[in-house]
A and B are shown apart, each in its own frame.
Chain A
């Protein structure tokens, strides 16, 4: 089986202005949504209490809301979690009652109404912890970005490094924006997925860059535009196979991973798709616009010795 029997000759970069324009518009929508809606942060970040319970029969959410309302938790968010029998309740602790006791109080109220209810999970996160988490997440994000910038700069060239960072940033903003626009819950696992998307996106980009560098070195004629286009086409087969295979795995997680990994899988799913697109368009096109040329990527020191190190 082979999807690309010959190297395709798709003029990707001809559409770079259109693609860039589209990306800018989509990213603007994402940023605006983030500014207006913000993110639907999970308890991991906001602090609060979640109680997950299981009923022997499909749960009556309205009745649960009523029970909780009578117990003084009018603001509780009650929703199904994975199956109709399982219920996730999110709430903020009552004034004067510590968060730790809220979980037990909620369970007690539910058990009074229906004794067969079983406790599956209680989470209490203090407000201090959530703030700390958000700071650390942002720090990890910027440090990863810096790490990627420095590595590509060191291994390749600064224009490509900026292209790589632009692509990574693009993917992260898009993925986070997706969560904002569709109001999906953003918890600790989603944060992990977003950071994994960064790693994945840059992996994809580096493979294309590697080919760009190689083609610049071996091709005698041709404008940077033609060479970059060629490199993108040559790596297209690999890009699509790898992304496809990774997507297969993520789909497995999405279907069978259960509700706990749902947000995680969604973030990866979105991130991998935009990551594939961005390594073709954003990364290479940025480098091209910044004016990367043959002389920037020529061999600086003798590198032939490397062949002998090959396994």
Chain B
């Protein structure tokens, strides 16, 4: 994979903009932080839905699982988790700088690995399901997880867990999490970019295009599907762990397993930008986030109605997404060569 000067310029520009943004637009830093969360969501969803053709509606499960695993680890290092959650905030956590960071790093690692384990276990359940059953089944898992955690006293049930606050200045904390999410999103982008260029990428594309044929060609489809699902889960677990700490307070239905707030938008962002492309999910996530923040600001109260309409319109009328539309319009920019004759023929056939 050779990197042209134009690509290099593009990456450089984005990197500089992202590094400068939190200092220049420091009033919008929380929105910018969540932007990277959204980008990561869209990229990890697209690995499943776009590249492998398995449209999961329940990827949010790993985000929530990572969040809870990390929280239990962080609290559990120094307190009895059951006592801590039962006290509903009466026990105040008092961590030193070192304790906080060790807990965060350890929690994030365990969360990522825990999500991978959960993904491997669940893959046995979900990958026998095809098409719409897969979508409904994964949605069911995400909803069930939210309800079950909401009734589980050990992790605070419906009232959630409050996590330790970042030690030090609040501004430093905000920037810390901005860069944490930025790095997580960038890592996942480059990881999947590399992955799509390998044999593995070709194999999961083959599964998307025709699973029976792929299997007949000797691709062990089950193994590939499980690995892709686990990779998605890995990054979502990291993201969940960080988001729990960023948000300070976690709760099953609105923060961790938030199907309507994060779970479904994950899919919509990838579709909006163009699924199955490298940049599509990133563009979709940025666009979605901007629209979301704008509706929050200008249509307060009606924001979810507006976002629901956006989902319907995107899915029904614009499913090719921005990248798909651009590829149709200017194929030469994407290195797709259209022969004059066949193009003529297509037009006549249409």
Do A and B associate with each other? no
Please give the residue numbers on chain A whose beta carbons come within 8 Å of chain B beta carbons, in ascending order: none
